[in-house]
Structure 1
Amino acid sequence: MKKTEQTIVLIRTAAKPLYWLLLGVSIVVFMRGHNAPGGGFIGGLLVSSTTLLWALVFSPDEAEARLPLKNSLKLAAVGVICAGVAGLPALILGKTFLTHYWLTIPIIDYPVSTVLLFDLGVYLGVWGVVSGYALALIRISHDGEQE
């Protein structure tokens, strides 16, 4: 086996657990963002790195297939919709748009804020936009190498 083939096997083998590690870290950063640094934007950037890693090691098409909606534009659109919907409870109750409210999930007795829905929208939106941009650049690069 040539040295480059060994390197490729090593990178592909390391990419699989690294993908899941980065995904887990992004979720932790997303969830702790209300009380400490982090949140939707930083979590979205971190989770975008999983898509970028997969695209560089395997292919942009395989990376896009791993996205939640299999399409970066749809993912970004769902993120924007989530962020917008987070402000609706305030409007319904006659308050200023994006005034946050808390409710408790009865089954698990866990308090949740509308801010979490807004942050989820930012997380998904950043993931979709950054991944879409990165995948487009990688595809351009791959097309240039094939010519």
Structure 2
Amino acid sequence: MTGSLILRTSARLLLVTCVLLSVFILVRGHNEPGGGFIGGLIGALGVIVYALAHGRARTLRMLRADPKSMLGVGLLLALASGALPPLLGISPLLTHQWGDLVLGPVALPLGTTLLFDIGVYLTVAGFALAVVLPFAEE
């Protein structure tokens, strides 16, 4: 274990807070300011603070995914969100598609922009973690 008891305890709280805030910013981003880039940075910040307090090995176990894999999946998802419409013959490249997710009496507008933002989120978070976590070696 690295760090003090106060750092280890506050790092867990900060991790949860940052991840929840980053998901909020991500979901809000396709209709308002925010989105995948800043959401990914905020989420990665929480994980980096956790790594400072608990070490690299424990952080990688907690993540359950290699940051480089997150980066790759994010790139593929972002690319697929823009490349899928022309492949299906619906519309030109990078034209986002919109539809409604009907949940009983409520209809939520969803589109491929959310998939793009999730891809950007995973790419940014994966890149930030892949760059910073090697420096957290014990």
Q: Same fold (TM over 0.5)?
A: yes
Which segments of 5 or more consecutive residues in structure 1 lack a partner in the other structure?
1-6, 143-147
Which residue of 1 is the match for residue 48 of structure 2?
52
Taking a change above 3 Å as real, the CA distance of residues 94 and 105 of structure 1, as seen in their structure-2 partners, is closer
1:14-53 aligned within 5 A: 14-53=10-49
Secondary structure of residue in 2 paired with 1:81: helix
Q: Is the 8 A contact 1:40 1:123 kept in 2?
A: yes
In the alignment, the residues of structure 2 paired with residue 8 and residue 26 of structure 1 have an alpha-carbon distance, to the nearest angstrom, of: 26
Aligned sequence identity (%) = 32
Secondary structure of residue in 1 paired with 2:70: helix
- Taking structure 1 as the reference length, what is the TM-score of the superposition? 0.83
Larger RCO: Structure 1 or Structure 2 (Cα < 8 Å, ≥ 6 residues apart)? 2
Q: Is the 8 A contact 2:30 2:117 kept in 1?
A: no
Q: Does 1:72 align with 2:67?
A: yes
- Taking structure 2 as the reference length, what is the TM-score of the superposition? 0.88
Instruction: After superposition, give the CA deviation of every residue in 1:6-44 in whole Å (9 maximum; x if it has no partner).
Output: x81111111111110111111111122123321100001
In the alignment, the residues of structure 2 paired with residue 126 and residue 29 of structure 1 have an alpha-carbon distance, to the nearest angstrom, of: 14
Number of equivalences: 133
Instruction: After superposition, give the CA deviation of every residue in 1:64-104 in whole Å (9 maximum; x if it has no partner).
Output: 2222x421111111101110110233212252211011011
Secondary structure of residue in 1 paired with 2:4: helix
In the alignment, the residues of structure 2 paired with residue 58 and residue 23 of structure 1 have an alpha-carbon distance, to the nearest angstrom, of: 17
